[in-house]
């Protein structure tokens, strides 16, 4: 009789240990998911990391390229999203500055005197292209005009720019 009780007691102990391990793992998974959702920066503009292809939101006051929250590198560029008549959202183009111009613009925002002639033009690129071009160049104008004539039959007048929705708390 005593050997049956000791086996039963050991089995209960093993089951309790397994239950504690399962509960601990579940709590860790839940906290990791909640942390990753709360780590996403909030903002009023879309950004896209060219290295890891992560899309996120941050302040529109930032000058691209900015640090990607996943890689920590200055590889995130501003993304402009639109929707036409069919309500499908698409990325129209990305914008970016070279690092020297980015530094000069940020210095200007801090109130420092800057030789504005040294700031190069804004660079843009189409989502399906790797080539950055001057936004005022012929190629830049082609990119911007292609955004204004989407394939859903709408025109530039029908397009609406899509901005991030604020997070619900």
User: At 9, is the pLDDT very low, low, confident or very high (cuts 50, 70, 90)?
Assistant: low
User: At 7, is the pLDDT very low, low, confident or very high (cuts 50, 70, 90)?
Assistant: low
- The token pair at 10 is 């050991």
**Domain identity same for 32 and 72:** no
Number of domains comprising the chain: 2
167 assigned to some structural domain: no
**Domain identity same for 50 and 34:** no
**Domain identity same for 67 and 98:** yes
147 assigned to some structural domain: yes
**Domain identity same for 9 and 25:** yes
**Domain identity same for 61 and 33:** no
Confidence at residue 35, expressed as pLDDT on a 0 to 100 scale = 52
**Domain identity same for 81 and 136:** yes
**Domain identity same for 82 and 130:** yes
**Domain identity same for 74 and 99:** yes
Confidence at residue 104, expressed as pLDDT on a 0 to 100 scale = 92
Cα–Cα distance measured from residue 20 to residue 16, given in angstroms and rounded to the nearest whole number: 6
7 assigned to some structural domain: yes
Give the tens place of pLDDT for each residue, 90-131. Answer: 899 999 999 999 999 999 999 999 888 888 889 999 999 989
Domain that holds residue 57: 45-162
**Domain identity same for 57 and 73:** yes
Confidence at residue 4, expressed as pLDDT on a 0 to 100 scale = 53
Give the tens place of pLDDT for each residue, 120-165. Answer: 889 999 999 989 999 999 999 999 888 877 665 666 667 888 888 7
**Domain identity same for 14 and 72:** no
User: At 87, is the pLDDT very low, low, confident or very high (cuts 50, 70, 90)?
Assistant: confident
Give the tens place of pLDDT for each residue, 20-59. Answer: 776 776 666 666 665 554 444 478 899 999 999 999 999 9
- The token pair at 47 is 């950004």
**Domain identity same for 108 and 144:** yes
Instruction: Give the residue from 73, 79, 37 showing the smallest Cα distance to 58.
Output: 79
Confidence at residue 27, expressed as pLDDT on a 0 to 100 scale = 63
168 assigned to some structural domain: no
**Domain identity same for 69 and 142:** yes
104 assigned to some structural domain: yes
Please state the three-class secondary structure of the chain as a single string: CHHHHHHHHHHHHHHHHHHHHHHHHHHHHHHHHHHHHHHCCCCCEEEEECCCCCEEEECCCCCCCEECCCCCCEEEEEEEEEECCCCCEEEEEEEECCHHHHHHHHHHHCCCCCCHHHCCCCEEECCCCCCCEECCCHHHHHHHHHHCCCCCCCCCCCCEEECCCCCCC
The residue ranking higher by pLDDT, 82 or 158, is 82
Confidence at residue 43, expressed as pLDDT on a 0 to 100 scale = 84
């Amino acid at each position: 009789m005593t050997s049956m009780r000791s086996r039963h007691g050991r089995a209960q102990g093993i089951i309790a240990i397994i239950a504690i391990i399962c509960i601990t793992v579940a709590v860790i998974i839940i906290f990791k998911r909640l942390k990753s959702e709360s780590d996403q920066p909030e903002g009023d503009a879309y950004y896209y990391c060219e290295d890891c292809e992560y899309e996120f939101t941050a302040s529109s006051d930032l000058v691209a390229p900015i640090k990607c929250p996943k890689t920590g590198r200055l590889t995130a560029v501003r993304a402009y999203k639109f929707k036409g008549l069919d309500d499908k959202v698409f990325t129209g183009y990305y914008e970016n500055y070279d690092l020297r111009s980015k530094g000069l613009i940020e210095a200007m925002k801090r109130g420092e005197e800057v030789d504005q002639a040294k700031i190069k033009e804004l660079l843009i690129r189409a989502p399906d292209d790797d080539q950055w071009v001057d936004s005022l160049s012929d190629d830049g104008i082609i990119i911007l005009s292609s955004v204004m004539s989407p394939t859903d039959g709408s025109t530039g007048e029908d397009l609406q720019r899509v901005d991030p929705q604020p997070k619900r708390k």
